[in-house]
A and B are shown apart, each in its own frame.
Chain A
Amino acid sequence: MSRSKRIPLSYFPGCSMATTAKENNRSLIEFCERIGYDMIEVQDWNCCGSSSAHSVDAELAEDLATRNLTLAPEGRPLLAACPNCMLRLRGAQRHLAEDPEAQKRCEARWGRPVDPDLKLIHFFDLLAGADMKGLNKTSPGLKGMKFVPYYGCMLARPPAMRHEPNHHGLIEKILSDLGAEPRRWGYGARCCGTFLSVVRPDVVGAMVDAIFRNAAAAGADCLVTACAMCHMNLEVRSTLQNRISVLHFSEALALATGKGEDRDWFSRHLVDPRPMLRSARLIA
């Protein structure tokens, strides 16, 4: 893509990607920059409230989301890759549009308006329109990597959002356009357990182990996750000795479209994916 056609985006990383999943963040930025977007981090963004704020305090949850919306500069779409952050931002945006009281509250709270035309884009929305086959001709690709897609709860949503586009199958489509081989399995939409991973590790551990067993039985070399929290819960909660690795979708994309060596990302995984990537000849 020529330089003039580059598209600037406001970028909201969220806490998981800014901290525990830096490898997710870095590979995502690298990939987006490569396909023609300029990623401009939202100044001073705050936590979206994770699974906790909306659980215990509806007003607080809304305030946390609206603060972020007010920080997005006018006229530039806002991109987030964390499904939960996106859900919170979209929920607040819808509420602001429907309820003048919510708008008043937001302005009084933060002293700044929200751009009424602010476009919220999830990373998957961006990918849905991207031409991966074209890109594949000029990039190393992922030939030889067998994977199962793991969406977690990302494809589910509240009834009020049921008419919005759903990206079921997108991980498989994009990665197979890049040469990887998806395997069929039945656990791709199992919720990762979010906070129960901390409070009820027994429950989540058993479930996560079942996910890994089924992924391996499907013939996959790795799982590919869409959400940083899923990635962490899968990695830290499994009690299995031998298990396959878990790649962030963004890592797979960045790897497929650029050089795979000298990456600091993979050393941050609890199960090192490098032996798998080497045996598939995807890294040296």
Chain B
Amino acid sequence: MMHRKKRSDGKNQSLETIVAGNGDMGFVREVAKRSGTDLSACFHCRCCAGGCPFIEAMDYAPHGVIRLAQLGMRDEVLQSATIWTCVGCHTCSIACPMAVDMAAVMDALRQIAIESDAAIAEPDVLDFHREVLRSIERYGRTHKLEIMMRYKVKTRDWFTDMDVGLRMLAKRKLDLMPSRVRNTKDLKRMFRENAEGGTP
């Protein structure tokens, strides 16, 4: 199943004229700073796109995301599906002649998208990440069964994977009880302080 998103006004994105200089240059600097990557290093050779295992499930190719970011097209890039589909596997980085840290750029874009309440193109991905973090907050470690159950509740998709879950239970791959950190006080405090935006 392809997963390409149409723009809400039905226009074909690739045929639009982009006026260089209309971009949000503060945003370009912000992405560069957070990712520790000079976006202008990318000259669009597309080696990254050639190696990315999940390009089929993306709306923009990985270097397309870099292009949008270079041009300061803030909304377009923050609302793209690609930033959520990218798993940060670094496959593209070993192919990139310019040492662009694609995974770091994607991390930065996701974080800016969350902080600025951008429309999230792949809400299920974010839901999943949030469930993982919630589990770490509770137990200090991930409790896979609970993460899966809660993710299912959120996405209201009970039946995909029912068989997989049962087979994993039968093989003792999903523990009923979590493996946990004994003293989670310091972790809970960390989550609280980070949520409040403070440094320790």
Contacts and interface: CB of A to CB of B under 8 A. Distances in A.
Interface stretch (B7-15, B72-80, B133-141): B133-141
B128 A46 contact: no
Interface stretch (A118-126, A132-140, A189-197): A189-197
A63 B148 CA distance: 25
B40 interface: no
Interface in A181-234: 189-191, 193-196, 198-203, 207, 232
Given A46-B140, A56-B129, A196-B57, A159 B99 contact: yes
A18 to B, nearest CB: 5
Contacts, number: 174
A44 interface: yes
A190 to B, nearest CB: 6
Contacts of B88: 51, 54-55, 194
A153 to B, nearest CB: 4
A18 B200 CA distance: 30
Interface in B180-200: 181-183, 186-187, 190-191, 194, 199-200
A236 interface: yes
B99 A52 contact: no
Contacts of B135: 47
A237 B183 CA distance: 35
Contact of A56 (B36, B57, B130, B161): B130
B125 A199 contact: yes
* Majority secondary structure of chain A interface residues (helix, strand, loop or mixed): helix
A20 B101 contact: no
B132 A158 contact: no
B181 A270 contact: no
A47 B104 contact: no
A13 B174 CA distance: 17
B52 to A, nearest CB: 9
Contacts of A263: none
Given A54-B88, A158-B103, A270-B168, 5 more contacts: A20-B175, A51-B87, A153-B90, A156-B89, A199-B125
7 contacts: A15-B144, A53-B132, A55-B110, A56-B130, A60-B190, A199-B124, A200-B85
Interface of A: 15, 18-22, 44-47, 49-60, 63-64, 67, 105, 108-110, 152-153, 155-160, 162, 189-191, 193-196, 198-203, 207, 232, 236-237, 267-270
Interface of B: 1, 3, 34, 36, 53-54, 56-57, 85, 87-91, 93-94, 96, 99-101, 103-104, 106-108, 110-111, 114, 122, 124-126, 128-130, 132-133, 135-136, 140-144, 148, 151, 160-161, 164, 167-168, 171-175, 179, 181-183, 186-187, 190-191, 194, 199-200
Among all A-B residue pairs, the 6 with the closest Cβ atoms? A153-B89, A191-B89, A159-B99, A156-B90, A52-B132, A52-B129
